[in-house]
A and B are shown apart, each in its own frame.
Chain A
């Protein structure tokens, strides 16, 4: 007889290893990292137990209680209480605990018991607990709590075997137990009583050695030092941005020459004509010009993933709390903002951990100002064409320094915007509290880093293959048609639709020093910022005619003034055009207004910054 699908939910305090367990059970690759509040969405997966029972398991955001103080915690509460519309209640709740830190989980578990759902306590991270000499009387704990208790090591192969066996055992007799939900929000005294009860149970069943994690305290002595800690943070960020420039170079050159060779090959193999032009100028030079940036994007992700997995992120939030507070930002905003360096979309999603609505909104509004990885291609292209690659003070690469400056400009403008929001809109407003668990450091796990990078690289290449490719086809088409009349001596592109459109918009952009080619490139840049690079490549390649095998960078260096280049960099610090970010802002704020506000303020800033940069540069003789 086919048994019905069993619905299982993973609930627990933040950072207890729920997502790691979910990944281990289902073979998924959901994001795992060592700070509280990684998961902000509900994710469902499926697996089959050793005895063949079909299971649906739902990973939920971590929470300390069922009160639902922030959007992520509400998701967990609504799921556990069956409040989400059209939801079925879970048949079984796996309460996932960090075995090294049971106090808060046992309290949560006592609260969860009132929902009447059948439960299992999963003592996860049991490897770390054993290493520290923490011993748990599992049988006694099970008796005290009145539910099965099982140990698990989510990140080790076979570490969930006991849990799987137990699930089989339990699921056989589940249906018989009817359950009553008697949960309601706990009063302060009930809360205190449950914590006391939890502490009593722990005292009876768990023996803790007086051996705290000395490694964590030794690292923290440096990393959380009031002054030293900030220096370390600045150094980490500086190395990160230098590395993006310096380490990626050899690989990028390799990729570039690969694409050049491919272009040459197509050029030689095909007869001159539309097909040759389409493949060489539209596809290879366009899409290729974006793909060469893969090494840089991998490096920035590598840094962020390492910091996240090590456990540094929560420390950075601690260090930055008061400093960001001066600009009207909450300490918890630091992690979303730092992940926005990779991409604003996960950054905006991550703001769900901020419980105060105004703090969250401010963070969402400024997240797109953090220099996301899609801006890297634009920055790199212009910097390598216009900024000499020499060392300053002997060891700092000037190009890397300019890159760092652009990142710094993004951060500064975010802080200024946030300050203005605080000043003008939210004037009398007491700062929301900052309370954050600082997890023990963990050695970053190679596998999860590798998976993280693989996932990001795949996403990037998929984007290059879909969005960017289709935009390139469009640009190539616009730049190639209509064909010029026979016998003309002017460049063919001057007769194309692209030139017509570009020249129509160009007057608007002339004050900031943009020519019509840039105007054409900015429009498809709406779909994805990197497209601007590819679009410039195509436009200039076609304009150059048959012999135009030269690289975009060289083309720009001869066709733009330094002032125009700097103005373009300034534009891209703000670069309002990224359709997917705007869509996420709309979804997360639930309002078209905030989306429109973000778009307009960034557009205004971009225009103003470019106008200023261009005119100052021209005045200084760079025009």
Chain B
């Protein structure tokens, strides 16, 4: 693949702006600040389809603190708070 994706910097989905598109690189639940344990958070994210290789697009943002965000994950839309989205590393 020669597209620009390889050159894009990795960043947590929790910092992405509306309109951002990218691909999930890995999950890193450590220090995300969520109330859930690392394992629980990671399990839940996977159960909603946040798995390496899935395409994501940030479709909408809330009003207060631009939180939560509505994320297109492959072909479904998931609402998630930025705090939890910090565990999803995208590029």
| A50 CB within 8 Å of chain B | no
The interface residues of chain A lying within 8 Å CB-to-CB of B65 are 322
The answer to whether A318 touches B79 (Cβ under 8 A) is yes
CA distance A217 to B77 in the complex (A): 10
Query: What are the residues of chain A within 8 A of B62 when measuring CB–CB?
Result: 226, 318-319, 321-322
Contact residues of B between 20 and 64, Cβ < 8 Å to A: 33-36, 39, 41-49, 51-53, 59-64
C-alpha gap A436/B51 in the complex (Å)? 17
Q: Which of A18-26, A101-109, A269-277 is the contact stretch?
A: A101-109
Asked if B51 and A322 sit within 8 Å, CB to CB, the answer is no
State how many angstroms separate the Cβ of A119 from the closest Cβ of chain B.
Answer: 19
Per-residue CB proximity of A172-214 to B under 8 Å, as 1/0?
Answer: 0000000000000010100110011001000000001000100
Q: Does A434 contact B (CB under 8 A)?
A: yes
Contact A438:B75 (CB < 8 A) given known A319-B62, A431-B35: no
- Residue contact B79 to A435, C-beta cutoff 8 Å: yes
Partner of B60, one of A212, A220, A356: A220
Q: A226-B66, A227-B63, A435-B81 are in contact. List 20 more A-B contacts (CB 8 A).
A: A65-B47, A103-B74, A103-B76, A188-B46, A192-B51, A212-B75, A220-B59, A220-B77, A318-B68, A321-B67, A321-B79, A430-B34, A431-B35, A431-B81, A431-B83, A434-B80, A434-B81, A435-B45, A438-B70, A438-B78
Least CB distance, A561 to chain B, in whole angstroms: 44
Whether A433 contacts B61 by the Cβ 8 Å rule is no
Whether a CB of chain B sits under 8 angstroms from the CB of A83 is no
**Cβ–Cβ < 8 Å partners of A220 in chain B:** 59-60, 70, 77
User: A186: nearest residue on chain B (CB-CB)?
Assistant: B43
Query: Ordered nearest first, which 4 A-B pairs have the shortest CB separation?
Result: A430-B35, A322-B64, A224-B60, A64-B47
Minimum CB–CB distance for A124 against chain B, Å: 15
Residues of B close to A227: CB separation below 8 A: 63
A sample of 23 inter-chain contacts (CB < 8 A) reads A65-B43, A103-B49, A103-B76, A188-B46, A192-B46, A212-B75, A225-B60, A226-B63, A319-B63, A321-B67, A321-B79, A322-B67, A331-B68, A430-B33, A430-B34, A431-B81, A433-B35, A434-B81, A435-B80, A435-B81, A436-B79, A436-B80, A437-B79
B41 CB to nearest A CB, Å: 7
Nearest Cβ on chain A to B10's Cβ, whole angstroms: 18
Chain A residues contacting B41 (CB-CB under 8 Å) are 433
Bound together, the chains give a CA A380 to CA B29 distance in angstroms of: 53
Chain A contacts for B52, CB-based, 8 A: 192
Q: How far is the CA of A225 from the CA of B59 in the complex (A)?
A: 10
Minimum CB distance partner of B33 in chain A: A430
Closest to B45 in A: A435
Q: Main SS of the interface on chain B?
A: mixed
| Cβ-based interface call for A94 (8 A) | no
A318-B79, A432-B35 known; A191-B47 Cβ under 8 A: yes
Contacts of A101 in B (CB 8 A): 75-76
* B-chain residues with CB within 8 Å of residue A69 when the two chains form the complex: 44
Judge if A230 is at the interface, Cβ distance under 8 Å. yes
Residues of A within 8 A of B47 (CB): 64-65, 104, 107, 191
Give, as a whole number of angstroms, the nearest-CB distance from B91 to chain A.
18
Contact between chains at A104 and B66 (CB < 8 Å) = no
In the complex, residue of chain B having the shortest beta-carbon distance to the beta carbon of A318 = B79
- Contact across chains for A67 and B43 when beta carbons are under 8 A apart: yes
Query: Given the complex, which residues of B lie within 8 Å of A226, measured CB to CB?
Result: 60-63, 66
Least CB distance from B54 to A in Å reads 8
A556 to chain B, nearest CB (A): 43
CB pair A434 B79 closer than 8 Å: yes
A322-B63, A322-B68 are known contacts. Are A435 and B78 too (CB-CB below 8 A)? yes
In the complex formed, the residue of B with least CB distance to A224 is B60
A100 interfacial by beta-carbon distance below 8 Å: yes
Interchain CA distance A621-B81 in the complex, whole Å: 51
Q: In the complex, A188→B30 CA distance in Å?
A: 14
Please measure, in the bound complex, the distance between the C-alpha atom of A429 and the C-alpha atom of B35, giving whole angstroms. 8
User: B75 near A208 (CB under 8 angstroms)?
Assistant: yes
For residue B45, which residues in chain A have a CB less than 8 angstroms away from its CB?
435
CB of A136 within 8 Å of the partner chain: no
Chain A residues with CB below 8 A from B60, complex form: 220, 224-226, 318
Which residues of A sit under 8 angstroms from B51, Cβ to Cβ?
A: 192, 195-196, 199
- A224–B59 Cα distance when bound, in Å, is 9
Complex Cα gap A107–B72 (Å): 18
Asked if A317 lies at the interface with its beta carbon under 8 angstroms from chain B, I say yes
> Would you call B84 and A433 a contact (CB within 8 A)?
yes
Cβ contact of B49, chosen from A65, A100, A195, A432, cutoff 8 A:
A195
Nearest B residue (CB) for A317: B79
Residue of A with least CB distance to B46:
A191
A191 in contact with B43 given A226-B62, A319-B62 (CB within 8 Å): yes
Query: CA–CA, A65 to B48, complex, Å?
Result: 10
Quick check: A433 and B83 within 8 Å, CB to CB?
Answer: yes
For residue B61, which residues in chain A have a CB less than 8 angstroms away from its CB? 226
Bits for A479-523, please: 1 = Cβ < 8 Å to B, else 0: 000000000000000000000000000000000000000000000
- Closest residue of chain B to A440 (Cβ to Cβ) is B77
Q: Mark A224-262 against chain B: 1 for CB-CB distance below 8 A, else 0.
A: 111101100000000000000000000000000000000
A224: chain B residues within 8 A (beta carbon): 59-60, 70
Residue of A nearest to B44 (CB): A435
Cβ-defined partner of A438 (8 Å) among B34, B42, B66, B79: B79
Chain A: CB-nearest residue to B36: A433
Contacts of B74 in A (CB 8 A): 103
Closest to A438 in B: B77
Pairwise interchain contact A435-B48, C-beta atoms closer than 8 A = yes
Best-buried of B45, B47, B53, B60 by chain A (most CB within 10 Å): B47
Q: A581–B90 Cα gap in the complex (Å)?
A: 47
CA distance A435 to B68 in the complex (A): 9
Closest residue of A by beta carbon distance from B34: A433
> Is A323 close to B, CB under 8 A?
yes
B81 to chain A: closest CB distance in Å?
5
| Interface positions of A from 56 to 96, Cβ below 8 Å from B | 64-65, 67, 69
> Quick one: closest B residue to A321, CB to CB?
B68
Q: How far in angstroms is the closest Cβ of chain A from B13?
A: 13
List chain A residues, Cβ under 8 A from B34. 430, 433
A67 to B61 alpha-carbon distance, docked (Å)? 30
Which partner residue on chain B sits nearest A356 by CB separation? B35
> Which residues on the A side are within 8 Å of B81 (C-beta)?
321, 431, 433-435
Interface residue A314 (Cβ < 8 Å from any Cβ of B): yes
